[in-house]
Amino acid sequence: MHELLVENMARTNYLPLIGSCGVHGSEESTGGELAEIGRLEAAIRQQKSHFSQVNGERGEALENIVVCERRFERELSTEKKFLASASSVAFTTKTQEEAISKFQESDEFENNLTDRVKESVWPGNVA
């Protein structure tokens, strides 16, 4: 039975593991060596499972990146079209007018205006 196990493992590329366990196809192997081989096979199965899980998560992350890139490109395209349109110019002009109007209604505007008038009108001031 031991020889069949060694042959099976050799066919499935486990030969380096067999060599590291001290099993060389002889009848001298012990139950401990077979247990070690079983433990290593279980560890390999666990690592393969973990790799499959990580690989699946990686695939999902890449898909999410592609979706986000497409959404960004659509939004960017829409923004470029809007900025090139007449609506954009009208919106920008209206927004600027509203900002100027709000600033003119504020106390800060009055203070700045009176400070400038004082600086430029009073005799002795050098402009």
CA neighbor of 12 nearest in space, from 54, 34, 46, 44: 44
Report yes or no on 30 lying in a domain: no
Which residue stretches of the chain are H helix?
Answer: 2-11, 15-20, 31-84, 86-105, 107-121
Tens of pLDDT, residues 65-113: 999 999 999 999 988 888 788 877 788 888 888 888 877 777 777 787 7
Segments forming the whole domain that contains residue 96: 85-119
73: amino acid identity, one letter: E
**Residue 112 maps to a domain:** yes
Which pLDDT does position 121 carry in this prediction?
A: 60
| pTM as predicted | 0.40
**Total number of domains in the chain:** 1
Comparison of pLDDT for 55 and 27, the residue scoring more: 55
